A and B are shown apart, each in its own frame.
Chain A
Amino acid sequence: MTPDTIRLTVNGKVHDIAVAPATPLLYVLRNDLELNGPKFGCGLGECGACTVMLDGIAARSCVLPVGACTQRHIVTLEGLGTREHPDPLQAAFVEHQAAQCGYCLNGMIMTAKALLLRNAHPTETEILEALRYNLCRCGTHVEILAAVKSAAGHSRASEAADAAG
């Protein structure tokens, strides 16, 4: 793996990084750019903890060679918003207290964000299917679903009805 200079656009900023092109994007984001949002979970694309968006599409950065990411807009959790100016989806996660350990949260938010970008008002079934392959071990699914539904414009009343099931 011989290093090349790879030009990446991450959260709107351009970076030139000397790295072997086969290096998974995740390690470049975490180690070269010191971004903590994307997390290593499995290295096999199974769990979704490493999810980022590439040109608005959810991508599993643990299996994505950095060399394939030039010429694209990479957005990480940090690029969505800040504590002071959160993205509405981030705000919904806070409002619904949608975290226990929070390790999977990056993947949940980034996957849901990509869903909302292509479908601003998904149904509950569409949300469940979009998040099917994002694993959470703490069992925070109920709160995460509530958060995404509220960001997708589902009313509180319909959420209450669902909860009563």
Chain B
Amino acid sequence: MPPADATRPENGGSRATGSLSIIRSLKADQPAAGFETFIVIAADGFVTAFNGHVDLGTGIRTALTQIVAEELDVPLSHVTMVLGDTEHVPDQGPTIASETIQITAVPLRHAAAQARQYLLERAAAELDQSLDELTIDDGLIRAKNNRSVSYAELVAGKTVCLELRDDVPVKDVSTYKIVGQAVPRLEIPAMTTGEMTYVHDVRVPGMLHGRVVRPPYAGVDAGDFVGTSLLAIDESSVADIPGLVAIVRIADFVGVVAEREENAIRAAQQLRITWKRTPTLPDLTDIATALRANPSTPRVLLDKNDVDAAIAAAAKPMQRTYVWPYQIHGSIGPSCSVADYSDGGLRVWTGSQNPHVLRGDLARLLALPEHAIDVIRFEAAGCYGRNGADDVSADAALLSRAVGRPVRVQLTREQEHAWDPKGTAQLMEVNGGLDENGHAVAYDFATRYPSNAAPTLALLLTGTIPPVATVMQMGDRTAIPPYDYDAMRVVTHDMPPIVRASWFRGVSALPNSFAHESYIDELATEAGVDPVEYRLRYLKDQRAADLVRSVADRARWTPRPVWQPPQADGDVVRGRGFAYAVYVHGPFPGKAAAWSAWVADVAVNKATGDVAVTHVTVGQDSGLVINPDGVRHQIHGNVIQSTSRALMEEVTFEPSAVASREWGGYPIITFPDVPKIDVLIVPRQDQPPLGVGESASVPSAAAIANAIFDATGVRFRELPFTPDRIREGLRAAETKTAPAPARRRGLFAGLAALCTAVAGLIVAASPWRPAIAPIARPDASIYTAATIARGQQLAALGDCAVCHTADGGIVNAGGRPLETPFGTIFATNITPDVETGIGAWSYPAFERAMRQGIHRDGRHLYPAFPYNHFAKTTDADLQALYAYLMAQAPVRQNNRDNALAFPFNIRPLMAGWNTLFHTPATYTPDPAKSDIWNRGAYLVEGLGHCGACHTPRNALGAEKASAQLAGGNAEGWDAPPLTSLSQSPIPWSENEFFSYLRTGISTYHGVAAGPMGPVVKELGALPDSDIRAMAVYLASFNPDAPSAAAQQAMAVKLETITSVRPIAASAQGARIYDGACAVCHEVGGPELFGSRPSLALNSNVHAATPGNLIQVILNGITAPVSGDLGTMPGFAGSLNDRQVSELASYLRQRFAPDKPAWIGIEDAVRATRQATAR
């Protein structure tokens, strides 16, 4: 066991001798079996209290502190709560089901009461007074005779250990001074200053950083392929990562460990692994069918009177189906853990919600006894159920064991999203009906909940436990409706998970209540009775009925017995809905937590389908309230989170894995969409305290669905209530015959024509050229510094280093692969090394190469080296360039062989090419043009070689003279037309060319990215006057460019007309844009460091093909021209081909509305991704 203990979050006890402890023996009459401690009062009078549950951000640390301080009559500041630390706290099971205050605090309260009683008795003896003459004030016991003794004095010098008794009387609620008061959360001051230590912030000496690489079956944890799918790891793929310590593989478990975190991240991204193909999942876009098909065992929870007969006799039978989607817990911080495996023991710092269960899992995983494992619980990002906290702790343990040092592991956002045990989809089917008087005659309810406890992932991936989907009986929470219908049958179909799933706030009760509370609303509508009144007819629980009435009153509910179309405000209609639920938790029949009721007000835009929850009145009967602020904040949190779940949350799937891997693919509610909330806390201080962590979520979805019905007259029985679902539902209700969608014809036909095979056209003309004799490396000192400096500028203009430097290689030493339609050419070493570079080249040899494309040894060079442009350079400039190159340090690096297909690998054929396409003449100024134009033309057409990328090429790879700068391509990117053929919505002007070439950004076009980024960086070496000249020349291809004022006006207009979501555009694309892109791209969005390129003006969004947009989305702009621009991350690892395609389609439709839709985007995404991977 590692010795260091300084990193425990809290540690009670004091150095002075003497203490009073309240303990519970694990086995009565067997002291050797050990004990659990609840309370320790130290000799300084300070109290340490222990609870097996943990604080998941709900504030229970503060509430428990209040309970202990109250019962002991000590100040809050004298109590320290220790939560979840396995070495110290009692095992009270996982922190689930809102049980902490209601259940696990009970022994703690008794222990505190017992300690108080013991101290009073001691004081009575000490002070020689009877018990009823003593009072306690802040840990000081006073007698009527004015004598007093403190807890500290009573405890000092004696070590007393008392067995917990639950028969000691607790304080009467009417005497409470601390419980029931709004006490500020203890942690918040530290949170606001960065002093709070989360598990993410744990650092231990010698700690390394690890990352895991998960299998491709993301989010699936059962089936024989789990733990058996890894075929091979190519360790050479991460050979370049500095400080890489280990690659760890155990079956399908893979992790990397590095000295630095960013290098562990890179290694995990870069590591090449071959996996088996994994089976496809059932179609989860149709949850009802998938869940009905999942094998199950019915379990009857209630069967009262003859349901079938009652339904058969109903005047108005009503059969309804309600569907809940897969959802994620969505912790804002991906799970994190630090593990230290040494000396045969393990210490784990974790954010787990069940440290004792985790300890058992770790013991199994590592084959260690539990007592050799110490699980230390630190605060983490809120989890609301079982997220990746246990998984990552096990990952860290495996990696630490492999390297013998402490390892910190944090999951990626993508891993947390994909592998988080999902809040499962759920199917609720209700059959019943009304008699002729509108009385509900029967309620036949069946629910399907495909979830279990989600075994800790490493156990499955390593093959430690079999990947069998076990069945857990958790679909029964609040399965029995709160309404006392005459005949009732309630059945839960217990079933294994389909994808990895576990409990999520409002476990099965929230979906079940969505059905109960929607159905009773439907009954009320059919019966022509106000839904609140209708509920009260069947609600027999008096506290529930009181709450329902109080909340309806508070919201000024007006009876609405018959649905009336509301007054519309343009496209917007408003409505309100009611729902009530009591959250029943724990194994069936379970215990009830707090009662909750909602009145939700919504505004529905019938044109766009947007639903806004504008206001929620929420009432709760929580029994005794420990901390009113804490309860209020939990209610706020539940209302906001469950509104988010109802309106927008839904996991999407690929054929064999989870597809939602970041906040664009799985959006959650944001500030402007949060409803106003009015909280009503029903005063019940005389009743036992009830769990408040989940209750206010439970009525949410039904209240919102009922409000949408009230607004629109249309009933929605499947979540989430996204704009597209609402629109579809409204349209379906209006007309049964939906118009057939218009189809568009392909635009991409013929795109690949350029790359078709070419044969027979090649003419051989004087293919052999003489070698020019090698020379000794010239002495660069013969050149003046001014000449060399000028050469340096010219080298920058010519982008020599851009092509002649490999990624991560030495400048100009060659090796960079250049993809051409004819094969791969590797740029050569142009440092002045005599053997491998150009050190043996005389100036005539250099000049011949630059002007004619001939190697010193007489071989033809390929026109990937743009000598057709370089030839235009003046002799003086070539001399300077030569001087500069020869003045650089020689680097010995052999050139790589090209990989060209026949016949392109026959160099002499280039002679024919030159005859056809090359004129080796220097630039001749056009006397009709200005000097600056001629200067610009010289730079652009000569060394600048803009046309090499921006001019289209013919079938033989030569620039088309007739289409100068009319658009070409480079390195998988489109090089857009610079002429009037430009697709940019605002034509290029001289000023925008200047701005773009000088700074890497044009407000009206976008940011230099891809191969253009390095070009602009290199141009930084040129003076403004040269950049201006290039701009003047390029702008002359657009003689009709509008004035600056006109450009500005066009920009405003374009941004205005594209400021709203087009209704018909991809809904998925819209969600991804909102979650992933809008933060930096939405016009008028928040001010953030870096540029905010406006997509309405962006050239790539308006281009003829989606190529560049796809490139930017997948690969980002990670190395922009200047740091001022900020960066854009690539989404290749976060979005799949379909998601990128939907996003690109949405961007096109929204921001380039006058341009035709792109088609074949998904294929283009796939091709780009594959090309990038090569």
A residues at B contact (CB < 8 Å): 1-3, 19-20, 22-24, 27, 30-31, 34-37, 39-49, 54, 57-60, 63-65, 67-69, 76-78, 80-83, 86, 90, 93-94, 97-106, 109, 111, 114-115, 118, 125, 127-143, 145, 162-165
Contacts and interface: CB of A to CB of B under 8 A. Distances in A.
B1087 A101 contact: no
Contact of A101 (B381, B678, B808, B1075): B381
B423 to A, nearest CB: 13
Contact of B332 (A37, A49, A58, A142): A49
Given A24-B262, A137-B329, 10 more contacts: A40-B333, A46-B662, A46-B663, A83-B190, A97-B188, A102-B196, A132-B1085, A137-B668, A140-B636, A165-B615
B780 to A, nearest CB: 27
B188 A99 contact: yes
A83 B193 contact: yes
B887 interface: no
Contacts of A39: 198, 200, 333
Given A60-B1088, A103-B381, A129-B672, A83 B189 contact: yes
B412 A46 contact: no
A63 B663 contact: no
B1123 A67 contact: yes
A1 B641 contact: no
Contact of A103 (B188, B333, B1119): B333
Interface of chain A: mostly helix, strand, loop or mixed: loop
B1134 interface: yes
Interface stretch (B56-64, B424-432, B517-525, B1007-1015): B56-64
A36 B1119 CA distance: 27
Nearest to A28: B262
Contact of A77 (B185, B188, B194): B194
Interface stretch (B560-568, B1104-1112, B1124-1132): B1124-1132
A165 B678 contact: yes
Interface stretch (B760-768, B821-829, B986-994, B1076-1084): B1076-1084
Nearest to A53: B1089
B1101 to A, nearest CB: 19
Contacts of A59: 1088-1090, 1126
B194 A44 contact: no
Contacts of A40: 200, 333-334, 410
A63 B662 CA distance: 15
B1086 A111 contact: yes
Interface of B: 56-59, 184-185, 187-198, 200-201, 203, 209, 242, 260-263, 266, 329-334, 379-382, 384, 410, 412-413, 615, 629, 633, 636-641, 644, 662-664, 668-672, 674, 676-678, 808, 1075-1076, 1078-1080, 1084-1090, 1118-1119, 1123-1124, 1126-1129, 1131, 1134
Contact of B1085 (A105, A133, A143): A133
Nearest to B200: A39
A82 B676 CA distance: 32
A102 B1087 contact: no
A135 B330 CA distance: 10
B677 A142 contact: yes
B262 A58 contact: no
A58 B184 contact: no
Contact of B672 (A58, A132, A142): A132
Contacts of B332: 41, 47, 49, 101, 103-104, 135-137
Contacts of B262: 1, 20, 23-24, 27
Nearest to B336: A40
A1 B807 CA distance: 10
Given A103-B333, A131-B671, A46 B664 contact: yes
A127 B1124 CA distance: 25
Contact of B640 (A3, A93, A106, A141): A141
A25 to B, nearest CB: 10
A46 B1116 CA distance: 14
Given A93-B188, A99-B187, A63 B330 contact: no
Nearest to B1077: A46
A164 B672 contact: no
Contact of B1087 (A20, A81, A114): A114
A43 B242 contact: no
B640 A139 contact: yes
A163 B637 CA distance: 15
Contacts of B380: 101, 103
A97 B185 contact: yes
B261 A45 contact: no
Given A31-B261, A138-B57, A133 B670 contact: yes
A28 to B, nearest CB: 9
Contact of A140 (B266, B331, B637): B637
A94 B808 CA distance: 48
Contacts of A118: 1087
A109 B196 CA distance: 15
B1089 A58 contact: yes
B618 to A, nearest CB: 12
Contacts of A99: 57, 185, 187-188, 191-192
Contacts of A41: 332-334, 413
Contact of A63 (B200, B382, B1123, B1128): B1128
A99 to B, nearest CB: 5
A-B interface, 10 closest residue pairs, ranked by CB to CB distance from nearest: A101-B57, A68-B1123, A139-B640, A37-B194, A59-B1089, A165-B676, A101-B382, A139-B637, A133-B1079, A102-B191
Contacts of B664: 46
Contacts of A23: 260, 262
Contact of A105 (B192, B201, B640, B641): B192
Contacts of A36: 194-198, 200-201
Nearest to B185: A97
A29 B261 CA distance: 12
A93 B641 contact: no
Contacts of B379: 101-102
Contacts of A19: 260
A135 B381 CA distance: 12
Given A83-B193, A139-B640, A140-B637, A44 B1123 contact: no
A10 to B, nearest CB: 12
Contact of B184 (A42, A47, A94, A138): A94
Nearest to A70: B1123
A162 B209 CA distance: 46
A143 B633 contact: yes
B636 A139 contact: yes
B57 A100 contact: yes
Contacts of A103: 57, 198, 331-333, 380-382
17 contacts: A57-B1089, A58-B1087, A60-B1089, A64-B1126, A65-B1119, A76-B194, A97-B185, A103-B198, A103-B333, A106-B194, A129-B1086, A132-B671, A137-B668, A139-B636, A139-B674, A141-B674, A163-B676
Nearest to A39: B333
Residue from B191, B330, B664, B1079 with most neighbouring chain A CB atoms (10 Å) = B191
A147 B200 CA distance: 26
Contacts of B1129: 43-45, 63
Contact of B192 (A35, A57, A93): A93
A125 B1089 CA distance: 21
A78 B184 contact: no
A64 B78 CA distance: 44
Contact of A94 (B189, B329, B330): B189
Contact of B633 (A31, A68, A97): A97
A101 to B, nearest CB: 3
Given A76-B194, A102-B187, A102-B191, A138 B663 contact: no
Nearest to B413: A42
B205 to A, nearest CB: 13
A110 B483 CA distance: 49
B998 to A, nearest CB: 18
A142 B636 contact: yes
B594 to A, nearest CB: 16
Nearest to A92: B192
